[in-house]
A and B are shown apart, each in its own frame.
Chain A
Amino acid sequence: MFFRKSKSNNSCCGSDTDPIELHGLKKIVLVGNPNVGKSVLFNRLTGSYVTVSNYPGTTVEVSRGKAKIGNENFAVVDTPGMYSMHPITEEEAVSRRLLLDEHPEAVIHVIDAKNIQRMLPLTLQLIEADLPIILTLNMMDEAEKAGMKINVRLLEKKLGISVISAVFIRNVGIEELKRVVENNARLVS
């Protein structure tokens, strides 16, 4: 938990535009509260190429990596946590700026399924902003243990977006998520 981000840290001052390796790739942005598994998902999607750099003018770190989904490479951006579209802390402000400025092909909103009630308002805001949202209910196993049964298909219909149930640490739902991203990308292009 403490030492993960020491990989390749070109930490100071430089611009935060894409590293050469990620130029021209379609983008996927991961958003959500802190501690919902965004970084786990980031690590599962990327792997080969990862950079961590400061967002310009701040000390907030942003991880970027390359993911191969279907036959296409995507640039994946892991944002610092955000609780709502209306930011309070610098980290939230950076997360929102990333969402707005990166023109993502897909925005994956990761939530902790057992706390869906507290986290879904952000989903509504993201939908309202016309961002290409895919909602991912992570930690479904814990939600089920807590006695919650979430009707994913009905939730999809109600929200009008793709909803995926997942347990990232056990690799559940990652393939389905990739398929949805692939299909969405095909629709766009």
Chain B
Amino acid sequence: MPGSLASEYSYPPEIQAAINTIEDSLKHSYNLSKRSVAFLLLQGDEEIYRLVEAKEDSNAFMFIQKIIQKTAKQFNESLNYVISVKRQEQVNNILTETVEIKPEKGLKNSNGLINELTFNPITGVPILLLVLYFGLYKFVGVFGAGTLVDYLEIEIFEAYINPLVNSWVASYIPWPAIQDLVANEYGIVTLGIRYAIAIILPIVGTFFIAFSIIEDSGYLPRLALLVDRIFKGIGLNGRAVIPMTLGFGCDTMATMVTRTLETKRERVISTLLLALAIPCSAQLGVILALLSGKPQALAVWTGFIILVFLLVGYLTAKLMPGENPMFYMEVPPLRMPSILNVFSKTYTRMQWYLFEILPIFILASVLIWAGKLTGLFDIVIKALEPVMKLLGLPPDAAVAFLFGFFRRDYGAAGLYDLQQGGLLTTTQLVVAAATLTLFVPCIAQFSVMIKERGLKTALAVAGFIFPFAFLAGYALYRVLMLIGGI
């Protein structure tokens, strides 16, 4: 039983003595052994400290306090450190007898080499670029957003479904208002469902496949480790890398994950950066699709978002001073992704995505329809037009930004439509895409922000992002004009 193990323990005599004395002076029972309580007291555990303070009488508690102080003075390092090191020594002793490590096999060596390559920044960055190029650009951007979207949009919706719905509605529904609800320019079927099925679905579908493979292979933690160096550079805790990396999957979930960060400061900074500068998978997919035809546009967009991320991260970290605690991260070995796993992950994600977006897209169509009917839509568009003008965008882009209020990818899909119509120059496309990326977080993310950070912080974050997105977009436009456009 445990006793036999305890006898093998060899803590420094001062600590051993302190533990015994504290154990003897604890008169009440705790849900863990007195020995354990004594250790935690020496290690400076506040919760246990308060518990003991509440349970024991004041004399005994003062006595215990004195012992802790006296023992702490006898060591140069903190007691927590001394005890942890001793414990690790015990573990090492046990393991030398119970674990045999064979010299590495050939297979492991090649795996080890790839491992090394992904860690080292010199080789890691090119590998990252390769992963991005083939996994995202080629597969999602060119295949998903090009081939698949073209097929669904042009061959299916524009050739069959839209004309069919439009003519059906025209002949069976006598009221123009109801006709517009279902069909024509902003109808539920011709806009809402078309966006969801023909533009978003193939893009996020291919993105989710690529993301699941990358995730399943164990590459994400390596990416986090690479980025960690940059994070430390701008004064952010390395721990924040994890929610940021997850944000590329879904910002809403990532905002939830920020709760694993240690201090309120880190949680707030991460929440802000997630809402501002980390595009989620759906949005990323559509933006990649939008810009993949023009590599220079993609480069400018990427550079701009990274710049905003670093700048805002740096400034907030400076404005909200605090220390950067140590950070350990678990890095699993690279694994061969299992096809079944990738399939089921992609499937659940697409299912979740469709369930979540279809109602919102349909709702948005209905709201836009109601807005058009009441004239509110035109008022909002009119109000946005001067802003569009400042950004050098055509008035039609206001519609895309209005869509963006509902979901960011919905707005991006609106841009996609404009671009397909040949209404945007490359410069305009980049400015619009960049502004829309920074622009408001989606409704789901905002509600999680309220839940996790409280209404005040959530509103403050949104209040910062809204004007900032347009200002940054404006700055980008001026800079691009200055160099003569791209």
Contacts and interface: CB of A to CB of B under 8 A. Distances in A.
A34 B260 CA distance: 11
A150 B84 CA distance: 23
Given A142-B333, A146-B333, A160-B5, 5 more contacts: A87-B47, A89-B262, A121-B88, A151-B100, A160-B1
Interface string B196-227: 00000000000000000001000000000000
A129 B352 contact: no
A88 B102 CA distance: 35
A40 interface: no
A60 B259 contact: yes
Nearest to B328: A83
Contacts of B91: 117, 120-121, 124
B2 interface: yes
Interface in A149-167: 149-151, 154-155, 158-161
Interface residues on B, range: 35 or more
B104 interface: yes
A27 to B, nearest CB: 13
B2 A130 contact: yes
B194 to A, nearest CB: 26
Interface string B43-64: 1110100000000000000000
B99 A148 contact: yes
B92 interface: yes
A121 B84 contact: yes
Contacts, number: 126
Given A151-B98, A160-B5, A145 B108 contact: yes
A86 B40 contact: yes
Nearest to A83: B328
Interface in A78-130: 84-91, 93, 96, 99-101, 103, 114-117, 120-121, 124-125, 127-130
B90 A128 contact: no
Nearest to B47: A93
Nearest to B3: A160
A147 B2 contact: no
B320 interface: no
Interface string A41-61: 000000000000000000110
Given A59-B259, A100-B31, A116-B95, A2 B246 contact: yes
Contacts of B5: 124, 127, 158-160
Contacts of A127: 2, 5
